[in-house]
Amino acid sequence: MPKRKLLPKKQRVAAILAALDEQYGTEKICYLNYNEPWQLLVAVILSAQCTDARVNMVTPALFERYKTPQELGEADPKEVEEYIHSAGFYVTKARNIIACCQRLSETYGGEVPSQLDELLTLAGVGRKTANVIRGNIYDEPSIVVDTHVKRISNKLGFSKENDPEKIEYDLMKVLPKDHWILYNIHIITLGRQICVARRPKCGECFLAEYCPSCQCPAQPAAEASGASAVTEAAGAIAVGTGPETAEAITVAEASGTSAAGTGPETAGAIDSAEVSGGGAAC
């Protein structure tokens, strides 16, 4: 297979972002439904290992029953579990949501804090959730590394890391700040529609000419095997593009911070964890 020359990294990043903007627009959208900030926080906690669509089916009744963080913070865990049962990991999620709302109510007067370090003290909240809140509620430039962002950022050669926090820092260096929030929204859409985990549709992908992992025969990626490494002309970064390890749950939320739920309702319980395998959460 002939080698395909990629643009130098800086130009390639710019071309990818421009293509994403053109394809998907620049409107900031959130796939989780909510009316108030604390509801988005609860929805994101629920989205661990669960699709956004499922979360959106669960939350209307939950928010109808519990109308404020205080009410949810004082709720009976068993009752909350019933409301959120279909979102999975319901024992841990119920505990986290209740503990989180308790803290919102008691420490923050029912408001959702804006600072990362404060958000990270809430049960069930890790960097992903905190960045969703900062981006969507406070419009603070923040990069949410969910399952799609993790996988596709590796494919695009923006990071070769596996750890979401390291990927987040890599992306901060690569992406201009005005695209930190949009990047996540765009990549979620790309990951759902084209660069799907099991079989990326490279032949249909508008990023094919810029993507070092493109498997399209017409535009073969440099060394077009699934586990190739791509050396960029300019920055000479080598990017492993091997099959992303199963979309397994990788993210454990910083334990030292939030702590509420620990009940293992299933083996390998999610702890007070954000999980990157499921809902993309905005």
The helix/strand/coil state of 238 is strand
Q: Which residue has the tokens 């890790």?
A: 126
Contacts to ligand SF4 from residues 145-184, by CB under 6 A: 152, 155
Q: Is there binding between residue 201 and ligand SF4 (CB under 6 A)?
A: yes
For this structure, is 146 an active site residue?
Answer: yes
Q: How many residues at the interface with ligand SF4, by CB under 6 A?
A: 14
Q: Is there binding between residue 208 and ligand SF4 (CB under 6 A)?
A: yes
CA distance 125 to 121: 7
The greatest distance separating any two alpha carbons of the chain, rounded to the nearest whole angstrom, comes to 64
Q: Is there binding between residue 194 and ligand SF4 (CB under 6 A)?
A: yes
Q: Rounded to 5, what percent of the chain is helix, strand, coil?
A: 45, 0, 50
Q: Residue 240 phi/psi, 5° resolution?
A: -75, 130
Q: Is there binding between residue 273 and ligand SF4 (CB under 6 A)?
A: no
Q: Catalytic one among 5, 28, 76, 128?
A: 128
HEC string of 202-228? HHHCCCHHHCCCCCCCCCCCCCCCCCC
Q: Is there binding between residue 205 and ligand SF4 (CB under 6 A)?
A: yes
Q: Is there binding between residue 135 and ligand SF4 (CB under 6 A)?
A: no
**Nearest distance in Å: CB 60, ligand SF4:** 34
Q: Classify burial at 68, counting beta carbons within 10 Å of its beta carbon; exposed 0-12, middle 13-18, buried 19 or more.
A: middle
**Smallest Cα–Cα separation from 71: which of 36, 120, 117?**
36
Tell me, rounded to whole angstroms, the distance of Cα 161 from its chain centroid.
15
Helices (H) and strands (E) in the chain, counts: 11, 2
Q: Which is nearer to ligand SF4, 21 or 74 (CB)?
A: 21
CA distance 128 to 134: 10
Q: Residue 230 phi/psi, 5° resolution?
A: -115, 130
For this structure, is 3 an active site residue?
Answer: no
Q: One symbol per residue from 212 to 251: x for binding ligand SF4 (CB under 6 A), - otherwise; what is it? A: -xxx------------------------------------
Stretch that binds ligand SF4, among 119-127, 193-201, 261-269, 273-281 (CB under 6 A): 193-201
**Nearest distance in Å: CB 84, ligand SF4:** 33
**Nearest distance in Å: CB 212, ligand SF4:** 8
Angle between helices 164-174 and 147-155 (to 10 degrees): 60
Q: Which two tokens stand for residue 91?
A: 């024992």
Q: Is there binding between residue 17 and ligand SF4 (CB under 6 A)?
A: no
Q: Is there binding between residue 195 and ligand SF4 (CB under 6 A)?
A: yes
Q: Which is nearer to ligand SF4, 194 or 273 (CB)?
A: 194
Residue of the chain from 97, 211, 222, 239 that contacts ligand SF4 (CB under 6 A)? 211
**Nearest distance in Å: CB 29, ligand SF4:** 20
Q: Which is nearer to ligand SF4, 155 or 179 (CB)?
A: 155
Q: Which is nearer to ligand SF4, 46 or 152 (CB)?
A: 152
Q: Is there binding between residue 42 and ligand SF4 (CB under 6 A)?
A: no
CA distance 170 to 161: 8
Q: Which residues bind ligand SF4 (CB under 6 A)?
A: 152, 155, 194-195, 200-202, 205, 207-208, 211, 213-215
What are the residue numbers of the active site?
A: 128, 146
